[in-house]
Amino acid sequence: MSPGRNTESVDNYLKAILTLGGREGSRVTIKSLAERLCVAPASVTNMLQKLAGSLSPLVDYERHGGVQLSAAGKRRALEVVRHHRLIETFLYEVLDYPLEEVHDEAERLEHFISERFEERIAAKLGHPKIDPHGHSIPTMEGEMAARESMVLADVVKDGTFVIDSVSDQDAGNLRVIEACGITPGARLRVRKSASSEGYSVSVGRSSKAFDLPRDVARDVRIVRMAK
């Protein structure tokens, strides 16, 4: 697949289907895909028909049954995700990019790096397993570790958790998250259960609580600590 606008668009569709389909690879609706990509449903349908009708189909598309990735489509999606997360890690750890900037920069670069460049980045970084946001980095063989976690905004009882990952989709929320010291691997204590406004939480060994807005809590994934 040669670099270009068409490649970039195809990759973005494959990544979106991978994300929306989840670990089980469930079928994805046209509506949810259109919302994810911010394009008209008719444009989504047109693209999926092309991807399904190629000599080596990248998706399995049914007009009223949604879409899921073919084996070839999943391989390409995981390859692009690997590129993206390795680039994010390189930008953050080596070039000192702010956390909230690495996603957009990686989005521009992920489609075009060679396998050799990918291997050099991975080696330079010591073959990392997670990116700066806490997301698993697929292996060269297209395998990605399964991780069980929940969204902080779904918590209904006080408790102590470990921060699993943070979303890279909203730069404004990321600035708030980083300023609060919410980083993958840190301990998070929910001191006050959910309200319409958000949560009262503390991070790490600090006993000082602060308020975390509900819209920011939606971008934080956590794992409950065993008692």
Domain chopping of the chain, boundaries: 5-69, 150-224
Q: Which amino acid is at 181?
A: G
pLDDT at position 57, please?
93
Residue 139 CB-density burial (10 A; 0-12 exposed, 13-18 middle, 19+ buried)? middle
| Domain 150-224 CATH class label | mainly beta
Strands annotated E in the chain: 59-62, 66-69, 150-151, 159-166, 187-192, 198-203, 210-213, 220-224
Please check whether residue 136 is in contact with residue 184, taking contact to mean a CB–CB distance below 8 angstroms: no
What's the pTM value of the predicted model, to 2 decimals?
Answer: 0.88
Q: Which amino acid is at 70?
A: S
Strand partners of residue 194 = none
Q: What is the pLDDT along the chain (227 residues), one digit of tens a residue?
A: 444 446 899 999 999 999 999 878 899 999 999 999 999 999 999 999 999 988 889 999 998 899 999 999 999 999 999 999 999 999 999 999 999 999 999 999 999 899 999 999 999 999 999 999 999 999 999 888 888 899 999 988 888 999 999 999 999 999 999 999 999 999 999 987 656 678 889 998 887 889 899 899 999 999 988 76
Angle (CA) 139-143-146 rounded to 5° is 115
CATH topology of domain 5-69: Arc Repressor Mutant, subunit A (1.10.10)
Angle (CA) 170-22-30 rounded to 5° is 80
Residue 62 CA, distance from chain mean position: 26
pLDDT at position 221, please?
96
Residue 46 CA, distance from chain mean position: 25
